[in-house]
Amino acid sequence: MIRIPCPFCGERDHSEFAYGKDASVQYPPLDAPLEDWHEAVFLRDNIRGVQLETWQHLHGCRQWLVVERDTATHHIHSVRAAHPGVAAVLAGAGNDAGSGK
Amino acid sequence: MSARRLPDGGRIDRAEALRFTWDGAELTGHPGDTLASALLAGGVQLIGRSFKYHRPRGVMSAGVEESGALVTVAGAGDGARRDPNVKATVQELYAGLAAAGQNAWPNVRFDLGAAANRLSRFLPAGFYYKTFMGPRIKGGTTVWMLCEKFIRRAAGMGAASRLPDPDQYEHAHAFCDVLVVGGGPAGLAAAATAARAGLDVLLVEQDFQLGGDLLNQPLADAGELLAEMLDDARSAGVRAMTRTTAFGLYDGCVAGLIERVTDHLADPAPFLPRQRFWTVRARRIIVAAGALERHFAFGNNDRPGVMGAAAARAYLNRYAVLPGERIVVATNNDSAYPVAGELAAAGAAVEVLDARPADRVRQLAQQAGARGITVRPHCAPLRAVGARRVKALEVAMEEGGRWRHGGRQACDAVLVSGGWSPAIHLISHLGGKPRWNRRLACFTADANGESLLTAGAAAAIWDTGACRVSGQAAGAAAARALGKDAPGIAMPAPGGWRSPIRPLYEVRVPGAHLKSMVDPLNDVTADDVRLAHREGFTSVEHLKRYTTLGMSADGGKMGNVIGLALMAEALGRASDGDGGDGADPDIAAVGATTFRPPYTPVALGALRGRSVGGHFRPLRRTPMHQWNLERGAVMTIAGLWERPWYYPRHGETLDQAYIREAATVRESVGLCDVTSLGKIAVQGPDAAAFLDRIYTNRFAHLPVGKARYGIMLRDDGLVLDDGTTWRLSETDYFMTTTTAHAATVMAWLEELLQVRWPALRVHVASVSDQWAGCAVAGPKSHRVLSACADSPEALTDHALPFMGVGRMSLGGGIPCRIARISFSGELAYEVYAPSDYATAMMDALWAAAEAAGGCLYGLEALGALRIEKGHVTGAELDGRVTLDDAGLGRMAAKGKAFIGSTLRARPELQREDRPKLVGIRPKDRAARFNAGAILCRPGQLSGLGEGWVTAVTHSPALGHWIGIGFIRGGEAAWRGQSAVAADPVRAAPVEVDIISPHMFDPDGARMRG
Amino acid sequence: MAELTRISALHGHADARRLGAGAGAPGVILGEIGGLRLRQIAAWPDCIDAVGAMAAAAAGVDAAPGPGRAVESMAADSAAPACALLRVEPLKWWLLGRPAGPLNIDAEQGAVVDLSHSRAHIRIRGPRAAEYLNRHLPLDLREASFTEGAVASSVLHHVGVTLWRSGRNYELFIPRGYALSVWEVLLQTAAQFDAEVIPPAAEGGGE
Amino acid sequence: MTRYSAWSIFKNGLAGQRNWRRAWRDAEPRAHYDIIIVGAGLHGLATAYYLAANHGAANIAVLEKGWLGGGNAGRNTTIVRSNYMMPGNRPFYEHSLKLWENLSHELNYNVMFSQRAHITLLHTPAARDAAARRYNTMRLTGSDGELWDLDALKRAVPHLNYDNARFPIIGAAVQRRAGTARHDAVAWGYARAADQLGVDIIQNCEVTGITRDANRVSAVQTSRGPIRIGNAGKVGLAVAGNTSRLWAMAGLGKLPVETHLLQAFVTEPLKPLLDQVVVFGVGGAHFYISQSDKGGMVFGGDLDWYKSYAQRGNLPAVQDVAECATSILPCLGRVRLLRHWGGVMDMTMDGSPFICKTPLANLYLNAGWNYGGFKASPASGWYFADLMANDRPAPVIADFDLGRFRHGVNIDERGAGPDPKLHG
């Protein structure tokens, strides 16, 4: 079980989360040319090692998170909310986030 | 003579007798017995038949590594609880236990399958790869498949019941600071030390008693220490679980445990689960799982009467069973000496064969001699003699580095200690690589030093006292790592024997034809390993797969190391010329296989817990579920929902019912539960802009009080989902999605808002469970709604025009949302009430609809109505379809970009000859055809076809069968031509016309009212 | 207008009974609480403090709770809680019960949505309540970890649920459509705890 | 080289099994080869074999970083079927099934292909109609396929859960010619047959770099030294799970591939309990099960749902398959799981593979088999060999190219969309 430290809920089983995708992909503007969209939607670095990826805490706080995780060891280096505004809110309230205390 | 129960001693409760049966014969044991100890005490020695050669087998161990005494336990009841391949050595005895031999016919004593043993020279490892191909007949597999039938029947050990398992199982979750695996001296010490430092400690032990090896030592020697350690752990606050196996370690310091709750009970309470699967999240895990004693390969080393020396110690001291009267103990290390002495003290005649030279065993021999035990250095077992149990042992003596025949020794038990293998399986699960320790002749594994620690024999520490200290050291280290005060205790060095082990894995002499088992559970012999070497299967991975070494139910606990040693020896001989029998093979060069979980086999029932039968997945019910059932609904599956399929009256069939229902909607009015549609509140100042990005059509200018049908694409430009979205206020929308994609769309919107477009101020909230929905459709729908509306003026054409949205109160105050939208092509409404008022809403609507001659209609009629109109649903929108394919190209707004707008322009998605949505009608109007049929050109009923039929119904409005589907080029390309709906898996081909999908009321006059 | 009768998801399935051996004091007591009043209050990130303050005022509490926490207010005329505010998501609160004051949050600050009918509400207590819940919920419910006032969302029998510890009670909120299915599974497990199912109670009752 | 037969077994039995020779040579790498295949899995070995057997190619090396057949070749649930319907897939998988039917004879190695029937359970009318389209397409293109009603299914598999299922079974879609094969034997059979045709299979030889000369590969660097490729030489990649890493070594950037983790499971051996392959997929579940000739129930389900190069899985996937197993076969509740293990898959953006040319003139790609590569291996080797030998794709594999995403060609059998974790 990968244990993901959700910045809102605390450390939880990965089965509460849904894996998203490679978070390093920058999606182009909606009207960007086909080549840009082709690259964003279909092509991947597929890193063996530490990558940035998105997960959603589907059965928890429903936040989309950016997780820095090693794809070879499953070790997690960092987690933050994908939404910068949410990340800022949690940073402000972060003293007892998710501890339930 | 065979084994017998001693008149006193042991950790069994002699005050109580437990009757049980073995192959139908009644025997007696005591609480504290295992099935194996009770069988031995009862004089039963031949207990199993081996996997491949059906060789006779007895009790070989006292634990989970058992390879001989595998039995079938009948279980209570009608046979549904039959449990094959149970290791008698770990099955606790209970009153009424009924066990029987397996993999034998007619029984394990007289087994006709034993003929396989006589043919064994023709059945070496991998023989089946080289034969059974037969002549090439028909497809080429005919001969093999004929042979396979017989091979399958011969293989397979025990027979599982075919009846549903009647027992319940459950999951449980636990959290702790430290999980200690193993309740022996190391584990108990580790747990107590960590708990005293203030940590929350969970200790798990697979046995039914705590104590580990202390239980196997004489009560007089170890009893006091064990009591003290148990008391220490208990008073420190350690939570201890027995009958609980840590079967696997996983990422994140998570362990899987199986707790056997009722397997030892004669008559468990019906509400207890049979087993419980625990997921434990720890911050540190201490593996103190002990070590497993090995044997060595010698002739007939699997005969009943051949047993591990440590196992014999367990039977003697824990169960008060003396395994024989004339006992040969064969060893290459110090650990067999205490048991030899204890057996002699219990009255057996004991002789020790020690493979080590005289000068290395002199002191041990002197001590043993004082107890009347002869120790023969340079000696080892060569072949066990006796057809069904051991009657004598041929001995090998070493001279000048060579084994030679050394005479024959009458005996009734041969106890073997070939060294010890630390139980490093759990560490290996997490990637800890096994490393060969040449000095101690065993694999050890480095725990990662952070989350994982080891202690005791699992760390190759052989001495009880040192094991205890190692536990204290590990417990203290875990405590310090978790920020607690604990003393620094030095971890004792591995090992601990006075005289070093002599690595020895096989004993053989030139010219002797021996059947020497390496992995007895899979009948892998020493010759098989050499054959694998000869054929080039020399890597550990190839060796195990070719010979099946270590792939049996004990996971190689008994045989792996010996197999690796023999391969190393063979490789050494090949490269060095002649490695010689006495050489220490380079096992490290062969490597070890990765241990995979589970440590011991785990019942699938436990892993699935309560997700079984009707609860395999939760059932999602609409608030009208019961209401629908009470009105005769037959349900069908829609994702996790059950939805009304049709409402038969007076014994109607499905076809009769849905045709009536659809006709009623067209003629008067019908009600349909549409609660399962996904419903999402989309709120915020940027909600309109957001909708414009996710839908292909425009929403920004949708007026408040109006709804619009929208389609969403995926990033790749193919259709994701469709539905209507209602504008409730400037900043507040109510979106509906399909039933199938409700959850997908919700998560997708959240992803877009949180990851891709965080600047948009939009909140989405699922309100699917908040609102219950009912479609009211048909020419009389307005009348029905007016009849139950608290203020009917809210329903006038002016107040609620086509695609209008409003609030209304019906049935005396039920606050509803209503929209005038139609899926059926009739004048129709969707009405939503808060879920707890759903049945009240339905009562009110139904009273009015029934009075108007209306009906309730289900999914089948819904389908008929939408097929007549050419509306697409999941059968058409299957993830491979574009807007244009579905005839919805006009839904793509020009001049705005939306999700998928770029990639939908890819050339292959824009081809004119793509399959496009069409209507389909049989040429012979009386003919019927099926969804799933392939549309072909007449006369060309082969190949990939020109299209396919997605949905078919009998149209009550048109009076014949119709369908929709996709065909190359669409209707325009087929004008004036007919096609054939080919359906070879179900029906004869039917000639059809390709027509517009809008088959009924194409202008939509009825819908607009 | 007469008060409408609310028909809950567990209607007809949550009647009082004793499960298991049925002797002695029950290890777990559970029952349905009807009449849920639940409004979800969402804030834009830059309005979180303002919206929190408005939510707190509506709930009659001093301050809006932080992540994973809940606060309750007491009704003036009763010892029973009148209102509770639960922080369920980084930008969202649940306001339970009858608000003490009005809640006027405009679109520039956040959004409010009524979810009163979206969940079934089950109350669980008893000496073995945490142990019982851990048969299903992968949450750390040890006393020191899941203290009074803690709130967490997690997964129970494949369904996302929310658990709140209010005093000695565990309040469990289950999406309505799944509620009966989850309830049936909860009852299967309850028998070994000598459980008592108490009759459905209206909001605030059931002590 | 001994030809394998019952007679050879008998003769050797009399001689104490002492006269068998190595199944394949333990080749040492040479400094130069004309054709290098990277990866001695099923696809690589089959490619080497067909290059030699069908195209008369010589001077071929197969480089393997570990032991041949040690990756997904030995870590799958051994199912062979051809129930594909999309135009770009149908003829390919049918060709593969036909190769399977003669593979033991072709290789003189019993790969134990057991055409025991592949049964997909159906639970809803919509699923039945979708299956009808698929199986009709199979029938119309010369394969076999049937729809069974409930009675026919009950006769064939009487102990499925017909009484107490969350998702009642209404029938099944069946391919009788489908079944299982012994996965290791396929690798060993191809290795032995390729070796007999002169192919050097070089184990413990990890490719550490790909040296380019403009738009050609001129050499591969290995843990056992550099190997040159001649002017007419060619390199083929068949390294499922690590395709992106080799691709990057060649300096080619990104691929429409992600590496994901799939677990497989086997129980203790049992007397015959299930005579077919049974597939179960409803309500979000996905599960397949058969019984090995040894008696173990062999099964699997979905991916672990997150990208991973670690060859070990986690408990949620274990629970999920146990739920599925006992849901369709309630008698399996007491049957014990013996082992579960993980392998890494090349998951692609449309669940479909690549057998194609690359931006480099003499580099060829065989990749992206998702978790369906076992059944495909004979045809994969067949057509990859053809591609490498003739430097052009056969029409059958025209859609197995890297350009299909740019062009909008869709051969996604599931319609799951461009998300690797959703395919399988």
Q: What is the mean pLDDT of each run of 10 residues along chain C (207 residues)?
A: 82 95 91 96 97 95 96 77 93 94 92 98 97 98 96 98 96 98 98 96 52
Task: Name every chain D residue with its beta carbon within 8 A of the beta carbon of B879.
Answer: 412, 414-417
* Neighbouring C-alpha atoms within 13 Å toward the C-beta of B705: 9
- Concatenate the DSSP letters of all residues of D144-174 into one string: --EEEEHHHHHHH-TTS--SS-SS---EEEE
Please judge whether D269 and B931 are an interchain contact, meaning their C-beta atoms are less than 8 angstroms apart: no
Give the integer Cα–Cα distance in Å for A80 and B230. Answer: 45
Q: In a 3-state reduction of DSSP, which class is residue B86?
A: strand
- Nearest C-alpha of chain C: how many angstroms from A56? 13
Would you call D314 and A1 a contact, using CB atoms and an 8 Å cutoff?
yes
Q: Which of A15, A37, A57 to mutate to test the interface with B (most CBs of B within 10 A)?
A: A37
Judging contacts by C-beta atoms under 8 Å, the chain B residues touching residue A40 are 715
D237 at interface of A, judged by CB pairs closer than 8 A: no
Q: What is the dihedral of CA B195, B196, B199, B202, to 10 degrees?
A: 0
Pick from C46, C67, C155: CB nearest A8: C67
pLDDT at site B330 = 98
Helix-helix angle B540-547:B526-534, to 10 degrees: 120
Partners of B706 in the beta sheet? Answer: B804
Cβ-defined contact of B751 to A56 (cutoff 8 Å) = yes
Chain A partners within 8 Å of D259 (Cβ): 46, 48, 71
**Number of Cα atoms under 13 Å in the Cβ half of residue A12:** 30
What b/e readout covers B572-598, taking b as 16+ CB neighbours within 10 angstroms? bbeeeeebebeebbbbeebbbbbbbbb
B231 Cβ contact partners less than 8 Å away, ≥ 6 residues apart: none
Task: Output the average pLDDT for chain A.
Answer: 92
Residue D1 confidence (pLDDT):
62
Which residues of chain D make contact with A41, given a CB cutoff of 8 A?
349, 405, 418
Q: What is the chain D residue with the closest CA to B539?
A: D67
**Most distant CA atoms of chain C, gap in Å:** 58
Residue B582 pLDDT greater than 70, yes or no: no
Subunits with 3+ Cβ pairs within 8 Å of A are B, C, D
Separation of alpha carbons A9 and B307, rounded Å: 54
**SS3 (DSSP) at B437:** strand
Per-residue model confidence (pLDDT) at position B68: 94
Contact B336, B321 (CB under 8 A): no
The amino acid that residue D190 corresponds to is Y
Instruction: List the single residue in B175, B732, B763 with the smallest CB-CB distance to C140.
Output: B175
Gyration radius from chain D CA atoms? 22
Inter-chain CB proximity D254 and A51 less than 8 Å? no
Q: What angle, rounded to 10 degrees, do the helices at D42-55 and D183-196 form?
A: 40
Q: What is the mean pLDDT of residues B230-246?
A: 98
Q: What is the structure's pLDDT at B674?
A: 98
Q: What is the pLDDT of residue B115?
A: 86
Q: Which residue of B has its CA nearest to C42?
A: B763
Residues B79 and B100: beta-carbon distance below 8 Å? no
Average pLDDT of span B707-732: 97
CB B778 within 8 A of CB B666: yes
d(CA B4, CA B494): 36
Mutate to test the interface with D, among B129, B143, B262, B527 (most CBs of D within 10 A): B129
Residue B581 has pLDDT above 50, yes or no: no
* C-beta separation of D399 from D409 below 8 A: yes
* pLDDT tens readout for residues D308-364: 999 889 999 999 999 999 999 999 999 999 999 999 999 999 999 999 999 999 999
pLDDT at B118: 85
Q: How far is B683 from chain D (nearest CA, A)?
A: 28
Cα separation, B688 vs B731, in Å, equals: 7
> Hey, how many other C-beta atoms are within 10 angstroms of the C-beta on C35?
17
Beta-carbon contacts of residue B499 (< 8 Å; ≥ 6 apart): B334, B356, B360, B361, B363, B364
A-C contacts at Cβ under 8 angstroms: 77
Q: CA of C93: which chain A residue's CA is closest?
A: A61
On whether the CB atoms of residues B113 and B54 are closer than 8 A, the answer is yes
Predicted confidence (pLDDT) at residue D372 exceeds the cutoff of 80: yes
Check: CB of residue D83 under 8 Å from CB of residue D118. Answer: yes
Q: How far is CA B222 from CA B339, B765, D363, in A?
A: 14, 64, 69
Q: How far apart are the first and last CA of chain C?
A: 30
Helices (H), B762-837: 781-788
Q: How confident is the model over B6-21, as pLDDT tens digits?
A: 999 999 999 999 999 9
* DSSP state letter for B572: H
> Is C34 in contact with C205 (CB distance < 8 Å)?
no
Q: What is the pLDDT of residues D223-265, one digit of tens each?
A: 999 999 988 999 999 999 999 999 999 999 999 999 999 999 9
d(CA B522, CA B550): 8
Coil, strand or helix at B456: helix
The continuous run of DSSP H or E covering B789 comes out as none
Q: Please report the beta strands in D245-308, taking only residues with DSSP state E, as ranges in sequence order.
A: 257-269, 277-280, 287-291, 296-307
Asked if D315 is an interface residue toward chain A (Cβ–Cβ < 8 A), one would say yes
Percent of chain B whose pLDDT exceeds 90: 89
For B672-683, give the DSSP string: EE-TTSEEEEEE
CB–CB of D307 and A73 under 8 A?
no
**Per-residue pLDDT for D199 more than 70?**
yes
Average pLDDT of chain B?
A: 95
Contact list in A for residue C152 (CB cut-off 8 A) is 9, 60, 100
* Beta-carbon separation of D256 and A19 below 8 A: no
Instruction: Give the pLDDT confidence of A48-88 residue by residue, as tens digits.
Output: 999 999 999 999 999 999 999 999 999 999 999 999 999 99
DSSP string, D355-372: EEE-SSTTEEEEE--TT-
- Give pLDDT, residue C79: 64
* Burial status of residue B908 (CB atoms within 10 A of its CB: 0-12, 13-18, 19 or more): middle
**Cβ contact D235:D217 at 8 Å:** yes
**Residues B18, B20: Cα–Cα separation, whole Å:** 6
Mutation target for D interface from B153, B608, B910, B937: give the one with most D CBs within 10 A: B608
Asked if omega into B598 is within 30° of 0 (cis), the reply is yes
**B456 near B184, Cβ under 8 Å?**
yes
The answer to whether C68 touches A100, Cβ cutoff 8 Å, is: yes
For CA atoms C18, C19, C25, C26, the dihedral sign is negative
Nearest CA distance, B254 vs chain C (angstrom) = 12
Query: Given a cut of 80, is residue A96 above it in pLDDT?
Result: no
Residues from chain D contacting residue B263 (CB–CB below 8 Å): none
- Kindly tell me the burial class for residue D25, based on how many C-beta atoms sit within 10 Å of its own C-beta (0-12, 13-18, 19 or more): middle
Three-state secondary structure call for residue B957: coil
Neighbours of B109 (CB within 10 A): 14
Asked which of B81-95, B831-845, D410-424 is least confident by mean pLDDT, the reply is D410-424
d(CA D28, CA D419): 41
Alpha-carbon distance B700 to A24, whole Å? 31
Per CB-CB distance under 8 Å, the chain A contacts of D253 are 43
Nearest to B825 by CA among B846, B802, B843: B802
* CB–CB contact B758 A82 (8 Å): yes
CB A42 to CB D349 under 8 A? yes
* pTM of the predicted model as reported, rounded to 2 decimal places: 0.97
List C-alpha distances in Å: D218 to B500, B607, D204, D226, D245. Answer: 55, 52, 22, 10, 18
DSSP one-letter code for B884: T
Per-residue pLDDT, B593: 75
Residue owning tokens 């065979």? B2
Separation of alpha carbons B767 and B734, rounded Å: 9
Q: Please give the average per-residue pLDDT across B906-914, as a whole number.
A: 96
At D423 the pLDDT is: 85
- Distance from the Cα of residue D355 to its chain's centroid: 14
For B754-788, the pLDDT digits (tens) are: 999 999 999 999 999 999 999 999 999 999 999 99
Q: What is the ipTM of this complex?
A: 0.97
Interface of A with B (CB under 8 A): 1-3, 13-14, 18, 20, 23, 27, 29-34, 36-38, 40-42, 54, 56, 58, 62-64, 73-74, 81-86
Tell whether the model's pLDDT for residue B574 goes beyond 70.
no
**Looking at beta carbons, which residues of chain B come within 8 Å of A99?**
none
% of chain D residues with pLDDT over 90: 91
Q: Are the beta carbons of B517 and B507 closer than 8 angstroms?
A: no
Task: Find which of D252, D263, D302, D309 to mutate to test the A interface (most A CBs within 10 Å of its CB).
Answer: D309
Nearest to A8 among C48, C89, C154 (CB): C89
- B456 within 8 A of B187, measured Cβ to Cβ: yes
**Quick one: pLDDT at residue A97?**
44
Residues A1-48 have pLDDT tens digits of 999 999 999 999 999 999 999 999 999 999 999 999 999 999 999 999
Which residues from chain A sit within 8 angstroms of residue B901, using beta carbons? 30-31
C-beta neighbour count of C24 within 10 angstroms: 7
**Helices D183-196 and B540-547, packing angle to 10 deg:** 110
Q: How far apart are CA B886 and CA B890, in angstroms?
A: 10
User: Across the interface, which of B269, B618, B813 has its CB nearest the CB of C21?
Assistant: B269
Do the Cβ atoms of D132 and B602 come within 8 Å? no
Considering CB atoms only, which of C45, C150, C154 is closest to A59? C154
pLDDT tens-digit series, residues B455-488 = 999 999 999 999 999 999 999 999 999 999 999 9
Average pLDDT value for residue range B571-576:
67
Residue C34's closest chain B neighbor by CA?
B836
Longest dimension (CA), chain A: 50
Q: Could A30 and B898 be called an inter-chain contact, meaning their C-beta atoms sit closer than 8 Å?
A: yes
Overall average pLDDT of the B574-602 stretch:
74
Reported as a single tens digit per residue, the pLDDT across D40-52 is 999 999 999 999 9
**Which amino acid is located at D82 in the chain?**
S
Residue A11: closest CA among C139, B506, B693: C139
Task: Check if the beta carbon of residue C168 is closer than 8 Å to that of residue C125.
Answer: yes
H-state helical runs in B812-922: 838-851, 859-869
Q: Is the pLDDT of residue B870 over 70?
A: yes
What average pLDDT does chain D have? 96
| Cβ burial, residue B971 (10 Å; 0-12/13-18/19+) | middle
Structure confidence at residue B886 (pLDDT): 97
